[in-house]
Structures are given as C-alpha cells and as structure tokens.
A and B are shown apart, each in its own frame.
Chain A
Amino acid sequence: MSQISINDLAEIQQKSQQAQALRHGQTGVGTQRMHLLVCGGTGCQAAGSIAVIDALRAEIAKQGLEEEIAVVETGCNGFCALGPVMVTYPEGIFYVNLEETDVAELVESHCKNGEPVERLLYKDPGTKKRIPHMRDIPFFALQRLIALKNRSMLDAESIDEYIGQGGYQGMAKALKEMSPEQIVAEVKKSGLRGRGGAGFPTGMKWEFCQKATGDTKFVLCNADEGDPGAFMDRSILEADPHAVVEGMVIAAKAIGSHHGYVYCRAEYPLAVHRLQLAIDQAKEYGLLGDDILGTGFSFDLQIYQGAGAFVCGEETALMRSIEGKRGMPRPRPPFPAQAGLWNKPTILNNVETWANIPQIITNGGDWYASIGTEGSKGTKVFALTGHINNIGLVEVPMGTPLRTIIYEIGEGIPKKHRKFKAVQLGGPSGGCIPEEHLDTLCDYEAIVKAGAIMGSGGMIVMDDSTCMVDMARFFMDFVQDESCGKCTPCREGTRRMLQILERITEGKGEPEDIDTLEELAEMIQQASLCGLGQTGPNPVLSTLRYFRDEYMAHVVDKKCPARSCVALLEFKVDVDKCKMCGLCFKNCPVDAISWKKKEPAVIDLDKCIKCKTCIENCKYDAIY
C-alpha cells in the first residue's frame, strides 16, 4: 500500500478493530470464534514459545480449525517468569508454562470442547488455587496500563493491529489540528516527567528545544536501557514499537525536527528487529518520511545500535556515540536542547516516556494529570524481580505504595523461611529501602526521601539471604567498570571505594574504612562530571544508612550475618540449630558432607569447595 491519508487511517482502524473484536469480548469477523495470543517476548522465547506457536498452528490446521481460530504472536506480556504464557479470547483465560507437548490437549479440550486445561492454569503462590481468568490474577488485576496498554493484546509485527487499537490517532491529531505550541502545552499540562531516571518535566524540555534557534534539530530516543534489573524499555519495544515511533513524530512536530534516531543497546536483538520492522511499515504507509498523512510535515527515523557501554545512557555521551566517537559525557551547559547531537538543538527521551505521548495527545493532558500524586503524574512501569513470587513488569498509578507492589501484585517472598530485607530501586544510581519504609509511595520526591531514586524502574526485592555490603560492592563494581575514565573523581574514587568494599567482604576491613567510604562518596557525588559518578555512591550510602550494623559485623566481628560472603564463613554446622534433615548432604556437589538419620551433618573442610549450596538449602540457618 502506498502513502495513506487520514481517511485511509480511519478505514484501516475500523477494519482492524473488527478483526480484533474477539479480544474485547465482542463478536469476531466471519467464522472466527477464538484468538490465541501467545507471548513472543525475549523471556518467553527463551522458554520455547516459538515452538509452542508453531505446534499450535500445526495442530489447528490438522484439526481443520484455521477459519475459526487464529494464533497471534504478541510482544512481551510482562509475566516473564511463567513463560511461555498464552491468553485466549474472548474468554480471557491465562495459560502458563506451556510446552509443545501440551498443544494437542489444549486444542482438543480448550478449543474444541470449551473446557480449560486445569493443570496449565496460573496457580496462586499463596492460596495454591488455580485462577483461570487473567483479570482475576492479582498480578494483573491491580495494574493500570498506559505505557504498556497494548502488551499481549496485539501482534507486535503488524502496523494494522496497532492502528486498530487507536494507534497513530494522536499523531494525526498533532499534525493536522495542533500547533507546535499547543502540543508542548498539552504535554506540560499532563505533568509527564522523564521516565529514564532523572524525572525532568518532559514538556519543559520540549519547550526549551522549541524555542532554540536552528534550522536542523533532532529527536532522539534513549533505548540504551542499562540499569541492571530494568527491562521495561525492552518490553515496550518488543510489544508496542509503533507507540514509540508515534510519540517521536509528535515531538518532531512540536520542535520542528525532521530527523530522529533511536539509540538501542545491542544486547536487545529482538527489540531492534521489531522496531526496525515498525519503522519500515510506518514508512510504507507514509507515517514516516515525506509529507506524512498529506500534512506537509516530514520526519525520518533510524535506529543506531550501541556497542556496549553503560555510560552511553547519559544524554551527552549518547550523542557522542551517535557521532561515532567514544561515548564520554561532556559538561552541561550548554544543554542538549540548545546544543546536542552535532551541536544542534536536540531532545532526548527514553522509551517509556515516548510510549506515553500518543495517549496524552489523544486523551488530553488533563486526563493524564488526573492520575498520580501532586508532583508525579500518570503511571510508572516497574520491573519487579529478585526474591519475589510474581516476577515481571508492573505498571501502576503514581502514588501506589511500594508495599502494595511487593505484597499484593508481587505476592511476597517465595521461600517460607526467608524474610523480606530490602527493595533496591534505581539500579546503580539508586538505593535500598528497608521494611520500615515500605509504605513509601511511588512518587519521585517520596522515594528520594526514603534514600533511593525512582530511576528507570528496576525494583529488585531481596530476602534476608542477601548481604547488603556485598550488594553495595556489586553496584560499585558495576559503576567502576562502566566509568568512562574522563573525570578523576569517578575514575579513581569509585576504584578506591570498590577496593575498600572488597576488603570488607573479604574480612579484612578496618573500622575507619566506613568513614573513608562516606568521605569518598561525598567527594565523588559533588565533583563528578556526569550522573554516573554523581549518583554512583548512592547504593553504598543507602546501605550504610539502613544497614550499618551489617557493615560493622563484617568489619568488627568478621561475620556476614546473611551468610553470603564466602571469606567470612566457616562452613561448620551449628548442632543446636541443625534439625538433621539431610538436605545439605543430599545437595552437596562434592560429597563433602556426611550425615545419618537423627544425627547432625558434618562438613569435611578438606573436600568443601565453599560453593554455598548447603547454606542455600538449609532452612534452619544451621551452617555458618
């Protein structure tokens, strides 16, 4: 199909909406009576979802049901730990952990006889009951989807399906009916703040760039999602790439730009593939390129693949990298809105921010601003992972308490004998929040007050088997390794902090080390050039704030209370605590443990390789 007009867009929307009607509980087209939406995101693909899709299609063809049942490969559903997952429509039944061998039974029982396959339904980790409908599963029921609106609802590789869900309507409105000033005003009204971490008001950023003089301007998307433990941007690009494209065109009109880049990390091959496909499809329809929708506005978009450098998530470093150079940050001002990529006025927003824009334009800034708290509007996507029952992507209204996310949506800690210890927010720039602050609301300022940052939304739950000193060491190792080396405080300071933390976890810490850590942290925060160094000491400071005892235990008593730091463990059995269950004996990979019924286990230290398998398996904390 060649370039389409606004009328064509409406026609495609109507047609595609009908084709998807089954997924909204309405009657389908022709003889179609069922849609099977199988997740094809990275997590589910790793679990074999493509084989399941192929088997489903083959079985449906074999049974002669092709006219009645459609199999759709969607983007990331968000409930990655249970993959491959599938949702059936119109019923909305949610299947988990599917395998190729389940397909024949599924088609026979569910598709032909209308009887759901009980054993493949989601099982609630608390009540142990099966829950058939997706809408009743707590993980989904408490979410509010805006950025993830289309997840597991459509074929991520079909532009028509996106249009059928109202896609490209915001762009059409912005190009046809709105002036650049009106677009900026609408985004400002929405209260949207950058979802990449810093939380800068998006509309204000656009306004600076709109007012900047220059005939060439750029619109950039930061898809260099580097924070360990955050995967919402990958998921959005895999499930709904057109939303990002649409958001960027709207911004282009607002600032008067005709060229944009998506800077995507090379670790995300599937996201790059889907996004490229989306760009190609949009170009074919004339929704990118010259004279979009016959409005006279032109905008071209291309992907730029990163080459593995965390610091390139920093805006000025990212721009240097697109210029083909070492991705090192430069001092600001000038800010990118004045002098960014190739010194031209540039706006950069992250994937999640872009995914919100089309709906803000379609539904209005007031609608968006009606959700959330005073200072933080709309929703936020979190990547909930770590020691938690329900692992996956969670989108909640701003203002939701952390406790709700962890205990209601996430349904708490999996191991019964373990207790919640802390939740890490904001990755290497963030911090840990302990139990007593779990009623903190999702709000940029409230989270900072509790000692962490909103960041890009990584939310890693840790139980009491996690050593907080080791956690701080982990993040410092990350920051040190990713420090680009341009400024001394970050390059040398983080190395010193890491050395001290390593010493402490090896049992060689001195009491004055803790003061030195605090002193260095303050210097690095104040003197570093970019956000990487300025925020790099945060994980150490927040663990020192809440878990100072644990540092002292390492330094003074030479003990690791979480039994995590190998050098501080003796690998001995506490006979008073040992319940003589034999689990350590059964799991030891090198047969270093001897045990007989009704006798405590004994570890042979000559054979022991200190792998901690026994400690992980002991429910009574009897090995120290």
Chain B
Amino acid sequence: MSLAHDLTQVSMPEDITTEMLTRIDEICAAHRGKPGALIPVLQKCQEVVGYLPVPVQERIADKLGVPGHEVYGVTTFYSFFSMEPRGRHVIRVCMGTACYVRGGKEVLERLERHLNIPVDSTTEDRRFTLEQVRCLGACGVAPVVVADMDTHRKVMADKIVDLVESYE
C-alpha cells in the first residue's frame, strides 16, 4: 500500500454518520486498556464504517488511548483494512497457486478489462471493488471468485463477466 496518503486531511468524510461515530466510541470504550485490543477494534470499526480513513483512525486512537501513528501503522500493515471507500460489491479473485495455474490470472485480467479498473481499486460509480486475495483454501474447486459473501467455484474467464453483472 502506498504511504502517500494525505495526513493533513482533518475533517470527517461526509458519508460517516453520527450513529457510526457513536458506535465507534462504544467499541473503543469496551476495549480500552485491554492488551492487544487494537486489531479487533479496527476490524469492528471497519465493519461499521466500511473503511478506515485517517479521521476515523484519529478518533479510534483518541478513544482507545493509543498513539495515532500506531493506529496508522497497523491499519496500513494488514491487507484487510482499507483507507478508501469501497464498492457496493466486493469481488475477490483468488490468486493462490491452485487458482493461478487453473486460470485465475485470466479471470482477473478479464475483470480488469471489463470493469475498466486495475486490481485493488473501485469503479467510479462505486458498484464494484476488485481485489485479488491470497489463497482462500478452496483449492479443490479452483479457480475461485468471492463476490461479497458468495463463494463461486470453477469460475473460468469466459463466465466471469456474466457472474459479476448479476450483482446490481
């Protein structure tokens, strides 16, 4: 992940509601002072907001009583945390070895062409976020694509366009 995020941005993004912030405060209050709490807190907060922009990280740091740089460091280290807003549907193409040798690479290339975005980015209309993931452990049914919570098996390149188009 690029480190060139604009850290001077201070105002809370408009799509983050007061209810979300209240929920973040509650999550932090429940974990404050507990050793090793930061990662579970970030996981829960990302579930609430959908992503973790710097102002949200600052709020977490403040409420949890840990330095802001530590929150930023952890957020940028783990691939499950995102600092950008995500699409309504997240399409994850498995790039584990089994999927790779059975055509996962071609599936990803086809999707990049179809959605007209590079991997690890979101379409302009925020309909899709396209990601590649590390082995999902479903190698027996490779190549695998996970759309939101649905695992699709044996998805070959010629089937993928119809598949993603079924997600409005």
A interface vs B, CB < 8 Å? 42-43, 45-47, 79-81, 83, 225-231, 233-235, 266-268, 304-310, 321-327, 342, 383, 385-387, 391-393, 424, 427, 458, 460, 462, 466, 471, 474-475, 478, 482, 484, 589, 611-613
- Considering only residues 101-115 of chain B, those with a C-beta below 8 Å from chain A are 101-102, 106, 109-110
Contact B110 A611 (CB under 8 A): yes
| Cβ-neighbour of B43 out of A81, A305, A326 (below 8 A) | A305
Identify 7 residue pairs between A and B in the complex whose beta-carbon atoms are under 8 Å apart, listed by A's number: A46-B153, A83-B140, A266-B80, A383-B139, A386-B101, A475-B97, A611-B109
| Cβ-neighbour of B140 out of A228, A231, A321, A323 (below 8 A) | A231
Contact A386 B134 (CB under 8 A): no
Residue of A nearest to B38 (CB): A324
- Considering only residues 130-145 of chain B, those with a C-beta below 8 Å from chain A are 133-142, 144
| Cβ-neighbour of B138 out of A46, A327, A427, A460 (below 8 A) | A46
Residue of B nearest to A231 (CB): B137
Chain B positions within 8 Å of A229 at CB level: 96-98, 135, 139
**With contacts A307-B43, A324-B74, A326-B73 known, is A226 near B151, CB below 8 A?**
no
Residue of B nearest to A310 (CB): B134
| Cβ-neighbour of B139 out of A231, A266, A267, A424 (below 8 A) | A231
Is B79 interfacial (CB 8 A cutoff)? yes
A386 CB to nearest B CB, Å: 5
**With contacts A43-B153, A611-B106 known, is A307 near B137, CB below 8 A?**
no
Q: Which 10 A-B pairs have the closest CB atoms?
A: A80-B140, A307-B78, A228-B96, A308-B79, A231-B137, A46-B151, A324-B38, A228-B135, A229-B97, A308-B80
Is B152 interfacial (CB 8 A cutoff)? yes
**Of residues A267, A342, A387, which shows the largest number of chain B Cβ atoms within 10 Å of its Cβ?**
A267
Chain B positions within 8 Å of A321 at CB level: 39
| Cβ-neighbour of B141 out of A83, A323, A478 (below 8 A) | A83
Once the chains are docked, how many angstroms separate the CA of A478 from the CA of B97?
10
Contact A385 B80 (CB under 8 A): no
Contact A386 B102 (CB under 8 A): yes
Chain B positions within 8 Å of A306 at CB level: 78
B interface vs A, CB < 8 Å? 35-40, 42-43, 70, 73-74, 77-81, 95-98, 100-102, 106, 109-110, 133-142, 144, 151-153, 157-158
Contact B98 A460 (CB under 8 A): yes
Once the chains are docked, how many angstroms separate the CA of A305 from the CA of B138?
19
Once the chains are docked, how many angstroms separate the CA of A43 from the CA of B81?
26
Once the chains are docked, how many angstroms separate the CA of A227 from the CA of B135?
7
**Of residues B42, B101, B140, which shows the largest number of chain A Cβ atoms within 10 Å of its Cβ?**
B140
Contact A613 B137 (CB under 8 A): no
Once the chains are docked, how many angstroms separate the CA of A309 from the CA of B134?
9
Residue of B nearest to A48 (CB): B153
Residue of B nearest to A327 (CB): B77
Chain A positions within 8 Å of B81 at CB level: 307-308
Once the chains are docked, how many angstroms separate the CA of A139 from the CA of B160?
31
Residue of B nearest to A388 (CB): B98
Once the chains are docked, how many angstroms separate the CA of A612 from the CA of B141?
22
Contact B138 A231 (CB under 8 A): yes
Contact A385 B136 (CB under 8 A): no
Residue of A nearest to B150 (CB): A46
Once the chains are docked, how many angstroms separate the CA of A471 from the CA of B77?
26
Once the chains are docked, how many angstroms separate the CA of A218 from the CA of B43?
24
| Cβ-neighbour of A228 out of B39, B95, B141 (below 8 A) | B95
| Cβ-neighbour of A268 out of B74, B97, B137 (below 8 A) | B137
Contact B101 A267 (CB under 8 A): no
Once the chains are docked, how many angstroms separate the CA of A475 from the CA of B144?
19
Contact A424 B74 (CB under 8 A): no
A15 CB to nearest B CB, Å: 34
Once the chains are docked, how many angstroms separate the CA of A386 from the CA of B96?
11
Chain A positions within 8 Å of B77 at CB level: 309, 326-327, 484
B67 CB to nearest A CB, Å: 12
Contact A324 B158 (CB under 8 A): no
Once the chains are docked, how many angstroms separate the CA of A324 from the CA of B98?
32
B24 CB to nearest A CB, Å: 17
Contact A308 B35 (CB under 8 A): no
| Cβ-neighbour of B36 out of A323, A474, A612 (below 8 A) | A323
**With contacts A42-B151, A228-B134, A611-B157 known, is A325 near B141, CB below 8 A?**
no
Contact A466 B43 (CB under 8 A): no
B147 CB to nearest A CB, Å: 11
Chain B positions within 8 Å of A383 at CB level: 139-140
Contact B101 A387 (CB under 8 A): yes
Once the chains are docked, how many angstroms separate the CA of A458 from the CA of B137?
10
**With contacts A43-B138, A326-B73 known, is A228 near B35, CB below 8 A?**
no
Contact B43 A80 (CB under 8 A): no
Chain A positions within 8 Å of B151 at CB level: 42, 45-46
**Of residues B95, B98, B152, which shows the largest number of chain A Cβ atoms within 10 Å of its Cβ?**
B98
Residue of B nearest to A227 (CB): B135
Contact A427 B97 (CB under 8 A): yes
Chain B positions within 8 Å of A613 at CB level: 157-158
Once the chains are docked, how many angstroms separate the CA of A466 from the CA of B139?
17
Contact B97 A474 (CB under 8 A): yes
Once the chains are docked, how many angstroms separate the CA of A474 from the CA of B135?
13
**With contacts A305-B40, A305-B43, A613-B157 known, is A231 near B110, CB below 8 A?**
no
Contact A612 B153 (CB under 8 A): no
Once the chains are docked, how many angstroms separate the CA of A325 from the CA of B73?
8
**With contacts A228-B95, A310-B134 known, is A474 near B80, CB below 8 A?**
no
Residue of B nearest to A82 (CB): B140
Beyond contacts A306-B78, A393-B140: 11 other A-B pairs, Cβ-Cβ < 8 A, are A81-B140, A83-B140, A225-B137, A229-B97, A231-B137, A235-B137, A267-B133, A307-B42, A321-B39, A324-B39, A427-B97
